[in-house]
Structure 1
Amino acid sequence: SERPKPRTCTRMPVMVDDIMKLLCSVSEQRKMKAAVKHSGKGALVTGAVAFVGAGGAVGGLLGAWMTSGEFKSVPQIIMELPPAEQQKLFHEATAIVRHLDWTDAVQLTALVMGSEALQQQLLAMLVGYVTKELRAEVQYGD
């Protein structure tokens, strides 16, 4: 008898989207914003993003935002990330929530919002990603 394929194979694009929505919800609840500390870093990121193949348009967009030194909401940053970067975040977040049984973003978000420990783990992962990968500073609140 054939075994059914694991759901991760067939649901991968949907799951990435669900995880991005979850990360947006968690970061939105904490009112997370990010900004680059030094304007010179924007050019570095633009080059690095374009170099890894994410494309000049996204690199230019990220670079322009970063050189402006303005704070931008983390949920907005997450949704504007190129697919390769979303994939990175997806893998890191999935490692944190892999023990949960969920079918869609709404259910996943409800499960995580019910657990302060899971929220803290996801927030720590997000802060690490934003500071390390995007070389940005994270702030909470208004």
Structure 2
Amino acid sequence: MEETGISETVTENIFRKQYGAGKFIEKSAIPKHYGFQSKKGTNNKGYPDFFKDLDDYAIIVEAKAIKHSEAETEVQFYMLNNQIDKDLIGIAISGQDISQIKVTYFYKLKGSSEILPFKVKDSLIPLNSLHKKFLKHKNGEFISNE
């Protein structure tokens, strides 16, 4: 894949630029006590691309250069295979340029194994807006058109 200049690092850099470098913990720097499992099915530790632990929820991010379905599959895997006892938001991101980025958001409530999609697609929204949208989904409140 490298020969065409397509790189997961490009996608990761788009994410970093949007949210700021250092705002998320990256890959193997994620503390082991979160208990992420390897997506290869071994008993080894695994790590999503980005992770952020907030007061009452956490965010898990998986980036792929171009295969968006793989980012979606892997972020959902990490949302289910961890030792985190709080609500989770998952972000799957792919693309090589901000103008053609694909983004899918998911959430999983504490104690549940059901992963549900957000009604937001293909844009990186600010973290405070993401949290508000999550709370609306969690609490069943929907924005009226008024």
User: Do the structures match in fold with TM over 0.5?
Assistant: no
Higher strand share: 2
Give me the TM-score of the superposition, normalised by structure 1: 0.25
Higher relative contact order (CA 8 A, sep 6+): 1
Question: TM-score, length-normalised on structure 2?
Answer: 0.25
Would you tell me which structure has more helix in proportion to its own residues?
Answer: 1
Question: Which protein is bigger by CA-based radius of gyration?
Answer: 1
